[in-house]
Amino acid sequence: MADPDDVAGPAVAGDGSADPVVRGRGRPRATDRTDAILTAAGELFDEVGYDQLKVQDIADRAGVGLATLYRRWPTKQALLAEALRRRNAAFDRRLEGDPRQVLQSVYALVAGATMGPRGEFLPGLLTAIRADAELAEALRVGVIDPLRTRIRVELEELLGPDHPQLGLLVDLVPGVCVYRALAPGETGDPEQLVAEAVGLLDRLVSTTTRP
Protein backbone atom coordinates (compact mmCIF):
# COMPACT_ATOMS: atom_id res chain seq x y z
CA MET A 1 0.00 0.00 0.00
CA ALA A 2 1.37 3.38 -0.89
CA ASP A 3 2.44 5.69 1.88
CA PRO A 4 -0.17 8.50 2.07
CA ASP A 5 2.65 11.06 2.23
CA ASP A 6 3.87 9.80 -1.14
CA VAL A 7 0.57 10.24 -2.95
CA ALA A 8 0.33 13.39 -5.02
CA GLY A 9 -2.62 15.57 -4.17
CA PRO A 10 -4.57 17.77 -6.59
CA ALA A 11 -3.64 21.42 -6.95
CA VAL A 12 -6.03 23.78 -5.21
CA ALA A 13 -7.53 26.23 -7.65
CA GLY A 14 -8.17 29.80 -6.67
CA ASP A 15 -11.68 31.23 -6.58
CA GLY A 16 -10.67 34.72 -7.60
CA SER A 17 -10.50 36.01 -4.03
CA ALA A 18 -6.92 34.95 -3.45
CA ASP A 19 -3.93 33.64 -5.28
CA PRO A 20 -4.18 29.94 -6.02
CA VAL A 21 -2.28 27.59 -3.77
CA VAL A 22 0.09 25.51 -5.82
CA ARG A 23 1.29 22.20 -4.45
CA GLY A 24 4.40 20.44 -5.47
CA ARG A 25 4.81 16.73 -5.82
CA GLY A 26 3.05 14.97 -2.96
CA ARG A 27 0.82 16.38 -0.26
CA PRO A 28 2.27 18.44 2.54
CA ARG A 29 2.24 16.69 5.86
CA ALA A 30 -1.13 17.59 7.33
CA THR A 31 -0.37 15.77 10.53
CA ASP A 32 3.02 15.38 12.14
CA ARG A 33 3.41 11.67 12.80
CA THR A 34 6.62 11.97 14.78
CA ASP A 35 4.92 11.40 18.14
CA ALA A 36 3.16 8.26 16.96
CA ILE A 37 6.34 6.80 15.47
CA LEU A 38 8.52 7.54 18.52
CA THR A 39 5.87 6.21 20.88
CA ALA A 40 5.60 3.01 18.84
CA ALA A 41 9.38 2.60 18.81
CA GLY A 42 9.61 2.98 22.58
CA GLU A 43 6.74 0.59 23.23
CA LEU A 44 8.11 -2.11 20.95
CA PHE A 45 11.59 -1.76 22.41
CA ASP A 46 10.09 -2.38 25.86
CA GLU A 47 8.15 -5.37 24.56
CA VAL A 48 10.69 -7.20 22.39
CA GLY A 49 14.10 -5.63 23.05
CA TYR A 50 16.60 -4.23 20.57
CA ASP A 51 17.48 -7.49 18.82
CA GLN A 52 13.90 -8.25 17.81
CA LEU A 53 12.90 -4.66 17.10
CA LYS A 54 11.84 -4.34 13.45
CA VAL A 55 11.36 -1.06 11.62
CA GLN A 56 8.39 -2.51 9.76
CA ASP A 57 6.70 -3.34 13.08
CA ILE A 58 7.23 0.23 14.28
CA ALA A 59 5.71 1.59 11.08
CA ASP A 60 2.74 -0.77 11.36
CA ARG A 61 2.02 0.19 14.96
CA ALA A 62 2.34 3.90 14.19
CA GLY A 63 0.08 3.54 11.16
CA VAL A 64 2.60 4.93 8.68
CA GLY A 65 4.48 3.65 5.67
CA LEU A 66 8.16 2.85 5.70
CA ALA A 67 8.88 5.81 3.44
CA THR A 68 7.40 8.17 6.03
CA LEU A 69 9.55 6.66 8.75
CA TYR A 70 12.78 6.58 6.78
CA ARG A 71 12.38 10.21 5.73
CA ARG A 72 12.78 11.15 9.38
CA TRP A 73 15.27 8.49 10.57
CA PRO A 74 17.58 6.77 8.09
CA THR A 75 18.38 3.88 10.47
CA LYS A 76 16.78 1.88 13.25
CA GLN A 77 19.54 3.06 15.56
CA ALA A 78 18.73 6.71 14.98
CA LEU A 79 15.01 6.11 15.49
CA LEU A 80 15.43 4.17 18.73
CA ALA A 81 17.94 6.65 20.11
CA GLU A 82 15.53 9.53 19.54
CA ALA A 83 12.64 7.57 21.03
CA LEU A 84 14.61 6.87 24.21
CA ARG A 85 15.99 10.41 24.30
CA ARG A 86 12.50 11.88 24.05
CA ARG A 87 11.22 9.61 26.81
CA ASN A 88 14.14 10.56 29.02
CA ALA A 89 13.61 14.27 28.34
CA ALA A 90 9.90 13.99 29.15
CA PHE A 91 10.75 12.26 32.41
CA ASP A 92 13.34 14.91 33.26
CA ARG A 93 10.83 17.72 32.73
CA ARG A 94 8.48 16.11 35.23
CA LEU A 95 11.07 15.99 38.00
CA GLU A 96 10.30 18.47 40.73
CA GLY A 97 10.93 18.75 44.44
CA ASP A 98 14.00 18.73 46.61
CA PRO A 99 17.19 17.03 45.39
CA ARG A 100 16.58 13.93 47.49
CA GLN A 101 13.15 13.39 45.92
CA VAL A 102 14.53 13.98 42.44
CA LEU A 103 17.33 11.46 42.97
CA GLN A 104 14.88 8.91 44.31
CA SER A 105 12.82 9.29 41.11
CA VAL A 106 15.89 9.00 38.88
CA TYR A 107 17.14 5.94 40.74
CA ALA A 108 13.71 4.34 40.43
CA LEU A 109 13.72 4.98 36.68
CA VAL A 110 17.16 3.43 36.21
CA ALA A 111 16.44 0.47 38.48
CA GLY A 112 13.12 -0.22 36.77
CA ALA A 113 14.66 -0.06 33.30
CA THR A 114 17.52 -2.41 34.16
CA MET A 115 16.40 -4.67 37.01
CA GLY A 116 12.67 -4.71 36.25
CA PRO A 117 10.87 -6.62 33.48
CA ARG A 118 12.52 -4.54 30.78
CA GLY A 119 15.96 -5.43 32.11
CA GLU A 120 15.91 -8.80 30.32
CA PHE A 121 16.63 -6.91 27.10
CA LEU A 122 19.74 -5.19 28.49
CA PRO A 123 22.28 -7.85 27.38
CA GLY A 124 21.10 -7.60 23.77
CA LEU A 125 21.29 -3.82 23.86
CA LEU A 126 24.81 -3.86 25.31
CA THR A 127 25.91 -6.30 22.62
CA ALA A 128 24.48 -4.00 19.97
CA ILE A 129 26.25 -0.99 21.49
CA ARG A 130 29.62 -2.75 21.34
CA ALA A 131 29.10 -3.60 17.67
CA ASP A 132 27.40 -0.38 16.57
CA ALA A 133 29.23 2.90 17.14
CA GLU A 134 26.28 4.94 15.86
CA LEU A 135 23.89 3.45 18.38
CA ALA A 136 26.42 3.73 21.21
CA GLU A 137 27.05 7.42 20.53
CA ALA A 138 23.36 8.21 20.15
CA LEU A 139 22.50 6.56 23.46
CA ARG A 140 25.42 8.22 25.22
CA VAL A 141 24.50 11.70 24.01
CA GLY A 142 20.74 11.33 24.24
CA VAL A 143 20.22 9.18 27.33
CA ILE A 144 23.27 8.38 29.45
CA ASP A 145 24.91 11.81 29.58
CA PRO A 146 21.69 13.68 30.46
CA LEU A 147 20.94 11.21 33.27
CA ARG A 148 24.44 11.49 34.67
CA THR A 149 24.27 15.28 34.49
CA ARG A 150 20.95 15.36 36.35
CA ILE A 151 22.28 13.03 39.06
CA ARG A 152 25.40 15.18 39.46
CA VAL A 153 23.38 18.39 39.74
CA GLU A 154 21.19 17.00 42.51
CA LEU A 155 24.14 15.44 44.38
CA GLU A 156 25.97 18.75 44.26
CA GLU A 157 22.95 20.40 45.85
CA LEU A 158 23.01 17.88 48.69
CA LEU A 159 26.72 17.28 49.21
CA GLY A 160 28.43 20.27 47.62
CA PRO A 161 30.33 20.43 44.32
CA ASP A 162 33.66 19.67 46.04
CA HIS A 163 32.66 16.41 47.71
CA PRO A 164 35.63 14.06 47.22
CA GLN A 165 33.50 11.07 46.15
CA LEU A 166 31.11 13.00 43.92
CA GLY A 167 32.25 11.35 40.67
CA LEU A 168 31.90 7.88 42.19
CA LEU A 169 28.50 8.66 43.65
CA VAL A 170 27.17 9.84 40.28
CA ASP A 171 27.71 6.38 38.77
CA LEU A 172 27.19 4.25 41.87
CA VAL A 173 23.48 3.44 41.67
CA PRO A 174 23.29 3.10 37.85
CA GLY A 175 26.42 0.93 37.94
CA VAL A 176 24.96 -1.40 40.58
CA CYS A 177 21.71 -1.62 38.61
CA VAL A 178 23.50 -2.71 35.43
CA TYR A 179 25.69 -5.19 37.31
CA ARG A 180 22.73 -6.82 39.00
CA ALA A 181 20.80 -6.94 35.75
CA LEU A 182 23.65 -8.82 34.07
CA ALA A 183 24.71 -11.08 36.94
CA PRO A 184 22.61 -14.29 37.05
CA GLY A 185 20.67 -14.56 40.28
CA GLU A 186 21.75 -11.10 41.46
CA THR A 187 18.95 -8.95 40.11
CA GLY A 188 17.17 -8.41 43.42
CA ASP A 189 14.35 -5.99 44.13
CA PRO A 190 14.57 -2.60 42.34
CA GLU A 191 12.49 -0.88 45.02
CA GLN A 192 14.72 -2.20 47.78
CA LEU A 193 17.82 -1.02 45.97
CA VAL A 194 16.37 2.48 45.58
CA ALA A 195 15.43 2.57 49.27
CA GLU A 196 18.92 1.48 50.30
CA ALA A 197 20.54 4.02 47.98
CA VAL A 198 18.43 6.86 49.35
CA GLY A 199 19.21 5.72 52.89
CA LEU A 200 22.94 5.78 52.11
CA LEU A 201 22.54 9.23 50.63
CA ASP A 202 20.79 10.45 53.77
CA ARG A 203 23.70 9.22 55.90
CA LEU A 204 26.21 10.94 53.63
CA VAL A 205 24.30 14.20 53.85
CA SER A 206 24.14 14.00 57.63
CA THR A 207 27.92 13.54 57.92
CA THR A 208 28.97 16.02 55.21
CA THR A 209 30.18 19.43 56.36
CA ARG A 210 29.24 22.07 53.84
CA PRO A 211 31.37 25.23 53.66
Rounded mean pLDDT for each run of 10 residues along the chain, 211 residues in total: 36 36 41 87 87 92 92 89 84 82 91 78 82 85 87 94 94 92 76 94 85 57
Give the pLDDT confidence score for residue 106 in this predicted structure.
Answer: 92
Number of other CB atoms surrounding residue 45 within 10 Å: 21
| CATH H superfamily, domain 31-83 | Homeodomain-like (1.10.10.60)
**Distance separating the N- and C-terminal Cα atoms of the chain:** 67
pLDDT at residue 211, rounded to an integer: 57
CA distance 15 to 85: 46
Q: What is the pLDDT of residue 131?
A: 86
Report pTM: 0.72
Per-domain residue ranges for the chain?
31-83, 95-207
Confidence at residue 61, expressed as pLDDT on a 0 to 100 scale: 96
On whether the 95-207 domain is CATH 1.10.10, my answer is no
Q: Which helix (H) or strand (E) segment is 72 a member of?
A: helix 66-72
Q: Are both 31-83 and 95-207 of the same fold?
A: no
- Maximal CA-CA distance, the chain: 79
